Amino acid sequence: MKTIIIKDKKFTELFSEQELKDIVTLCAQKIKRTINDTENLVLIGVLNGGIPFMNDIAFSLPGNITIDYVRAVSYGDNTYSSGKVELLLDTQLDLRGKDVLIVDDIIDTGRTAKFLKNHFISKGAGSVRLCCLFYKKGTLVEEPEYFGSYIGDDFIVGYGLDYAQKGRNLKNILKLSD
């Protein structure tokens, strides 16, 4: 089993690169089966962690989608949420009547997902759906419409997920083993 040290913490492999690719592919297939009108679709990636996943989802959809980004944070450099969501960068698109698909790396506590969903509804989005790579049951939001895999309470890194801004570039998923 692969083990690495990031800053002061030890992480071991949870999903291999191939297992991760399979998870992403299955999630993208679910989206393609249920979203027919991609011309009205706006994918909004949550910086920084959601970008690798959002790119893979976007590449699997037809060419007539719109893409934008937001940056919302609640973790900082910790392995736990601060409990407060801060919107550092908002979309500049007119979302009135659009079908928004928020794409993020993980729904952990659910605070960021709930905050962004309400935010885009307040901006007039016709619909707002959630898509995440990993979903922890028992969060503050209902189960997202699309997700790659359930995840336990492990703190994970890789494929966009980080610990103090490190580990995002890993092609597999590792869990904290300390």
Could you tell me the two tokens for 59? 């590449």
Distance CA(24)–CA(58), nearest Å, equals 11
Annotated catalytic, 108? yes
Q: Which of 99, 108, 153, 162 is an active site residue? A: 108
**DSSP string computed for 90-122:** ---S--BT-EEEEEEEEESSSHHHHHHHHHHHH
Angle CA 33–38–32, to nearest 5: 15
Distance CA(169)–CA(178), nearest Å, equals 21
- Would you name the residues annotated as active-site residues? 108
